Structures are given as C-alpha cells and as structure tokens.
Chains A and B, each alone.
Chain A
Amino acid sequence: MSHRDASGEILAGFIAPHPPHLVYGENPPQNKPQSQGGWENLRWAYQHCRDKIKALKPDVILVHSPHWQTVVGHHFLDVPKLKGLSVDPIFPHLFQYDFELDVDTELAEACYEEALEEGLAAKKMVNPNFRVDYGTITSLHMLNPDWDIPVVGISANNSPYYHTHDYAQDQMIKLGQATRRAIEKTGRRAILAASNTLSHLHFDREPAIPEDMSQEHIMSHEQYLWDMRFIELIRQGKLDEMMDILPEFMEKTFAEVKAGSLVWMLSAMNFPKIPAQIHGYGTVIGTGNVVAEWDLDKARREGTLTEEAMVHA
C-alpha cells in the first residue's frame, strides 16, 4: 500500500450483484458445488471489472451488502483476518464457499469513527467467529477472485425497511459521506462495490439443473422495463433523475437497491454525473442484475469530473 502518504481517493465504484449462482457457475476451487456453467453474460461482465481493478492497483475494496442485515446501526467488519465456510441459507446447494479475507481494519475503524461523526449509529464487528455473508463474498469474489486486495465489509442497516424512504436514504447518504472522508483521511486508493440486484422479484422454484439457461428469464416484462429505465438513466449520467424514480422502482420491482448499497456508493462518490459503463445485464432466477462501473479515475484524468458534476441536487 504505497499510496497512503497522499490524500486518499475513490478510484471507481461498481454495482456488483451477488446472486450466488455466479460463483456456482464459475466453479472456483473455494466453492464445493460444481456446475456446468450458466449466467455467462454476467460472469463475463465481471471479467471486465477484474481486469480493470487489477490495472488500478487499489489498496482496498469496500463492499456494502444487503445480506448482512443489521438493525442497530451500520456495522463494519473489523477483524484483521476472517476465514471459514459460508453456506448460503437460501441456496445452500449452490454456495458452500471457503472464504479467507484480509480486512483493512485501519480503514474500517476510520469509517466507524466518521459514521459516528455523521450522527449515525455504528458498530465495529470484532467477533473472530463471524460468518461473512454470501452477498459480501460473492461480490468480492466476482470482482477479485484472487482475494489479494484487503476489504472492508459494511452491513446494510435495515432502516430502509423501518422508516420512510427519505429518512432511510438520508442515512445512506451520510454513510457514504463518512466513507469518503475515511478513505481520504487514511490515504487509501479505494474501489467501492454496491452489492445489490436491480429488480428483485423472483421465481420460487428452480429447474432441476439450476444452470439450465433455457429456463432463465426475467420474472416479468414490467421488471425488465423498469430495469432498463434505471440503466438508461445511469448510462447517461442522469443521477438526479435516477434518484427521483428510485422510490417507485423499489416499490414496483422490490428492487434490492432499497437496502441502501447503491445510494451509499453514489454518495461516497459525490453522485458523479458521468455516464456509468454497463458491463452487462442478466437475470438470475428471475431477478434483474446489472454490472456497472463509474470510473472516477478516468474521469479525473479526462477532466470530466467537475464540481458541477458531483453534487446531488
């Protein structure tokens, strides 16, 4: 981590969906179940991200996961090394993953302190026996299967499911701001990952062969249209418009962005009104998933990341 003397910065942010099917389809050595493939459009999309991340040489990847749900505050993984077997309680036949990850605890603690500074409830997760959730692991594996970059895992506080949309998203905006300050103060070159699907209504049956792609399709045409509406807006860098439709998107499609991961990430990046690069879109058991990237490093170099382009109205 040779860049820590300089002021830290966020290099890029990714929407990094976490269906365990993507790990299952890849057959990595860490995962016990074996597949014949499947969901290639999303897995190949992730391949672009992997190459990009390697080239950026980040110090850390921060991931916000809807499947680490907390009710009292925002929690941060804060154990230097976490390892174990993570079995997905919903899809155990697809995901039994031996994980071993290094946590950037200095940054995790800085995030925690800055969250408190924002007036948020926050906690450090210091229990060494903690089983890391499959959402965190899937997003991190798909972005960096070598696991050679330290991570910070952030829980999804359940406030979006208890409070009004405005209050809940305000919490995520503050969490993003806290995260950004922590990155800057600790001098980290950071990648952010919002671990969420888009439309999230799904089938409650799966084919006999889960990776039978002849059976895979979006749950409904309405979901597809909503996903495309969302994607088109981020492709054009129209984040204000995207934020305006977000409540309806959540309501109509049960979109997992409700968990706050996306708004956390965009807030940390100062809501950059630059086009997101869409690496791929695909469905998993009926849900809509996009792998998308905001390349802040490139935008800085090209001079398109102006002050006007960064403040959410």
Chain B
Amino acid sequence: MPSSTTAENIKKAFIVPGQPHLALTDGWPELTQAFKKAGEDARSVCPDVIVIYSAQWLSVLGHLFQSDPNPKGVHVDGNWHAMGDFEFNFKVDTSLAKLAEEKAQAKGLATKSVHYEGFPIDTGTLVALKYFNPDNSIPVVIVSSNVYADKEDSMALGESMGEALRESGKTAVVIFSTALSHRFMTEEIQSTDDRIASEQDDEWNRKMLDLIQLGKNQDAMDLVEDFAQKANPEMMFKGFYWLMGVLGTPNVPGELLAYGPVWGTGNAVVEYSLNN
C-alpha cells in the first residue's frame, strides 16, 4: 500500500507547466483543461497557503524567498510578449516564508528575502496562480530556483519548507512549476502542429512520468540526473528534489492529468493526493 511520510497538513502537491500559452491562449486545450482541474482540486481542500517553486525564477546569490506581502503589477513575458499581459496582485504569507528561510539558513543554505517594488514575478508563478488562485484569496509562498543548487541543497531547501509547514500547522498545497524536456521549436508553429521536440525527449519524459505515476518517487529522483542530461528539462528538473524534500519522498503515486507539448517542450500536469 502506498504510504505518505508527508506532514499531515500538506494536502496536495502538483507538478505543472509554466508556459504562458496555457494561461493566455486557448491553443493547448488538453493541458489547459488539466490545469483548470488541478486548480479546482487544490482549492477543494481549502488550503491556508499555496507554496510554489518556479523553475523560471532563477537566482544565483543563494535561494530567494519572496517577502513582499502584496506583490502587484503587470508582467510581460520576454519571449511571448505578443500573447498579452499578466496583471497580478496577490498576497504572500510572509511569516511562513520567513520561517522557511530561517530553517534553510539553519541547514547552511545561503538565502535572501526579496521585497522590492517592481520586482519581476516570473511567468511560471503567474501561470500557476491563474489556475490555483484565480481570485488571489489564498496567500502564497514563492521560492526561487538557484542556478547553482545541487541535489543536496535543493532537497535541504525543500525539507526546510516541509518543516516550516509542519510547524505552522497551516494546510497547504505545494506546486512545482516546470517544463519536462525544455527544447523549444525555434520557428513559428500552429498549436495543432505542436509536438515534443524529439523522440528522445518524449521517451525520457515518459520514463520520468511512469515512475511518478507508480509512486516510485525515490526512483524518479534517482533518474533526475540522467533525465537532465538526456532531455534537457527546465533547470535540470532540480525542483523535483525540492518537492520531494517538502513531501518527505512519499511512495504516493502522482496522477497524470495531462501530458503534451508546448512549442516543442514537454509538459505535464501531475497531482499528488496526500492527506485528504
């Protein structure tokens, strides 16, 4: 029988894509519908907080925690600027962010809090918020993807968040925003002609997803290094280490709600039901 080692107050966890196509266009209906369902499922457990690790928020000076209590503004994606704007205005659970940062520091990780007017919120975070927090009623915690973090650091960062959540007692939904294989088509395409950039990428995406669907999350973690070499996943898929650090690497299966290409990249919507 699958078992969860996850803190009881963590109700669900998700792996979701960060491509703006899924928030600003209707060209990828299967992934979009799955994203909508994931958001509804998340809200059905009435979380006190949504925790997001975004592979599109890159940092180099340690691990960053958003600590502005109310980030707001307009974001335009650097590449997909013609798709339109993301207007954002959401709440950050600054006390939980601070607690998680303190625990990360206690593990020897370099961290920084980010509280600056106009700080650019990344596309991946905003795509997730559109579906998981459409009315921005739920406070969020956002952490960056440190370019230099290895497996050990990423897991320690996740464990810090898991410990902070456990200590806070807040019911939580945890999100890892990432692409799987991350090779784009480099020319204009129609969404109906979209496909994973290579057969090899597709094969490796499916290998990873198969393990996740079987609840073999430790095996999936063991595969990350090869996956990173073979399929060029976004930020080497190191956020999966973070996610498993938060969840305690449970042998709980992730339900695959959808898998498909976005402009050549591989994308999946995965839902872990943990403590419902």
Contact = CB atoms under 8 A, between A and B. Distances in A.
A129 B76 contact: yes
Contact of A72 (B61, B116, B148, B185): B185
Contacts of B62: 204-205
A87 B263 contact: no
A87 B60 contact: no
A206 B89 CA distance: 31
Contacts of A2: none
Interface string A52-74: 00000000000000001111110
Given A127-B82, A204-B62, A206-B61, A72 B120 contact: no
B2 interface: no
B186 interface: yes
B30 interface: no
B138 to A, nearest CB: 24
A158 B265 CA distance: 14
A133 interface: yes
A250 B78 CA distance: 24
Given A90-B60, A204-B62, A125 B81 contact: yes
B181 to A, nearest CB: 12
A131 interface: yes
Contacts of A44: none
Interface residues of B, number: 31
A159 B61 contact: no
B65 interface: no
A86 B75 CA distance: 11
Contacts of A125: 81
A136 to B, nearest CB: 11
Interface in B36-91: 57-62, 74-76, 78-79, 81-82, 84-85
A24 to B, nearest CB: 14
A195 B58 CA distance: 20
B114 interface: yes
Contacts of B116: 87, 92-93, 96
A133 B78 contact: yes
A208 B75 CA distance: 31
Interface in B100-135: 110, 114, 116-120, 122
Interface in A243-262: none
Given A92-B116, A127-B76, A127-B81, A71 B57 contact: no
Interface string A116-143: 0000010101110111010000000000
A130 B119 CA distance: 14
A235 interface: no
Given A71-B184, A72-B184, A96-B117, A90 B58 contact: yes
Contact of B119 (A84, A92, A158): A92
Contacts of B199: none
Contacts of A85: 117-118
Contacts of B81: 75, 125-127, 130
Contacts of B60: 90, 202, 204
Nearest to A92: B116
Contacts of B183: 162
Contacts of A204: 60-62, 110, 148
Given A72-B187, A96-B118, A162-B183, A131 B148 contact: no
29 contacts: A68-B78, A71-B184, A71-B263, A72-B186, A72-B187, A72-B188, A72-B263, A75-B79, A75-B81, A85-B118, A89-B120, A90-B59, A90-B61, A91-B61, A92-B116, A92-B119, A96-B117, A96-B118, A121-B188, A127-B81, A127-B84, A127-B85, A129-B85, A155-B78, A158-B184, A158-B186, A159-B186, A204-B62, A205-B61
Question: Which 6 pairs across A and B sit closest by C-beta, in order of nearness?
Answer: A85-B118, A71-B184, A127-B81, A87-B118, A70-B79, A92-B116
Interface of A: 68-73, 75, 84-87, 89-93, 96, 121, 123, 125-127, 129-131, 133, 155, 157-159, 162, 202, 204-206
Given A72-B184, A89-B122, A162-B184, 12 more contacts: A70-B79, A71-B184, A72-B79, A85-B118, A89-B57, A127-B84, A129-B74, A129-B76, A130-B81, A204-B62, A204-B110, A204-B148
Interface of B: 57-62, 74-76, 78-79, 81-82, 84-85, 110, 114, 116-120, 122, 148, 183-188, 263
